[in-house]
Chain A
């Protein structure tokens, strides 16, 4: 159910972007509307496989802590965004700023908190 809603939301977002004639090249980060559908798929892939190399493929934790929604909801969105963008000094958590835009990170954090990560 949740997944269907998300997909529907993603589709409607994509449609509105199309209607507005704002189709952007894939590599260009989308604006306030969030990442494009294609980019969302690659962010999901990143989350599962690359974040997953420390946080576990199901994000339940590994060398790094759990990223499950019950844990993520305990933290402020803004501080989670800062952790992803700038890393946590003194720990293995690296900064992702040169690879991910702030909008993409905001989208990832919302996804983690909602618990509909792939």
Chain B
């Protein structure tokens, strides 16, 4: 290697000089010594939650490019991306908001903005990053460039109490939408005007909303309810219609099982006219017709589902499960609603993420300190990467999608 390098270096220097003379490129060294010009469309991060680190990965050759340290308590951490796909904004449990430069492979800025936070969103135009906090309960909005505070929205419900905030998403029209867990409310924060956000509050939406999603077109906001059956739906095109209840039979229902982990709705799965939702406290994935919002089927699965995520083409839905059945992943074939594949990667499969066009799926297998990459057509394992206690996997393709 060294021999090669010493052979090539004069040649490269000569080439660079020649190009510089032609006025094509500058002689300034690149920002990072090992970096050549590249895009970010095949980049992503994997949260190594116990160690407060991120693994920077790329999905073309399926490799780990770098480890980025110093992100604090990353349990339950999640991330969104800047619209140019260069920066990740990582939301940590310790209230940390960290802006990570994927190209320079380092932290660009980090602030502690609350005592205990749960997730965040980036605005439609990419100018604002919002964080939802448990403690003190509320939402804080920051300038995505500088991380300077733009707005502070304390979540004080109609009961006068401060509430934990969950299910924060972005929505078209420069809005953020979120749910108040303790108060049972949904708020829409309109960020269009200068000055404080314009808030529209919906009270009595249901008991204990625990997470929410916004549909990919940005029209419908749907919150799962832990305290009662059904979900709360808000049509963001017609706020005046208020919040309505859908799937009154969805939820824990008659056969109540203990819930060892709350399902996540963010990785919601829509395939054609149907949407797949993890049932709470049941070994089922629910199938909903999004034209009528009626339940049209249930798929019996291995355990209590946590994520039900559609492959980008909508042909398959991949499902992982809650403790203690979290060593398994199942694949639902959408046209037949049958399980067509089941695999056991190892204990604690915490998250899964598809590449933008869905030919690969990346799985984090926490207790094996491994991230596995599978071909979604053959199900064959293509690669494994070593990552310390991996949890969330976030690829830059999220930059262009509402609600992710």
Contact = CB atoms under 8 A, between A and B. Distances in A.
Interface of A: 48-50, 52-54, 56-58, 60-63, 87, 90, 92, 94-95, 99
Contact of B181 (A53, A58, A63): A63
A50 B48 CA distance: 16
Given A63-B118, A94-B258, A94-B260, 5 more contacts: A57-B49, A57-B75, A57-B93, A62-B134, A92-B226
Given A49-B366, A92-B226, A62 B260 contact: no
14 contacts: A48-B50, A49-B366, A50-B260, A54-B261, A56-B73, A57-B76, A61-B134, A62-B76, A62-B118, A62-B134, A63-B164, A63-B166, A90-B227, A92-B259
Contact of B135 (A57, A61, A99): A61
Contacts of A99: 324
Contacts of A61: 116, 134-135
Nearest to B50: A57
B268 interface: no
A5 to B, nearest CB: 24
A94 B73 contact: no
Contact of A92 (B73, B210, B324, B348): B210
Interface string B149-174: 00000000000000010100000000
Which secondary structure dominates where chain A touches chain B? loop
Q: Most chain-B Cβ atoms within 10 A of its Cβ — which of A87, A90, A94, A99?
A: A94
Contacts of A95: 258
B73 A87 contact: no
A25 B210 CA distance: 40
B134 A63 contact: yes
A94 B226 CA distance: 12
Contacts of B75: 52, 56-58, 62
B323 interface: yes
A86 to B, nearest CB: 10
A68 B75 CA distance: 16
Contacts of A60: 116
Nearest to A87: B258
Contacts of B166: 63
A53 B118 CA distance: 11
Nearest to A98: B258
Contact of B76 (A48, A53, A87, A90): A53
B262 interface: yes
A53 B306 CA distance: 12
A79 to B, nearest CB: 19
Interface in B56-80: 73, 75-76
Interface string B109-143: 00000001010000000000000001100000000
B348 A49 contact: yes
A52 B73 CA distance: 12
A24 to B, nearest CB: 21
Interface in B165-218: 166, 181, 208, 210
Contacts of A87: 258
Nearest to B366: A49
Contacts of A49: 348, 366
Nearest to A59: B75
Contacts of B323: 50, 53
Shortest beta-carbon contacts, A-B, top 5: A57-B75, A94-B258, A50-B323, A53-B261, A95-B258
Contacts of B93: 56-58, 62
A88 B366 CA distance: 28
A42 B186 CA distance: 39
A50 B208 CA distance: 21
Interface string B38-58: 000000000001100000000
Nearest to B324: A99
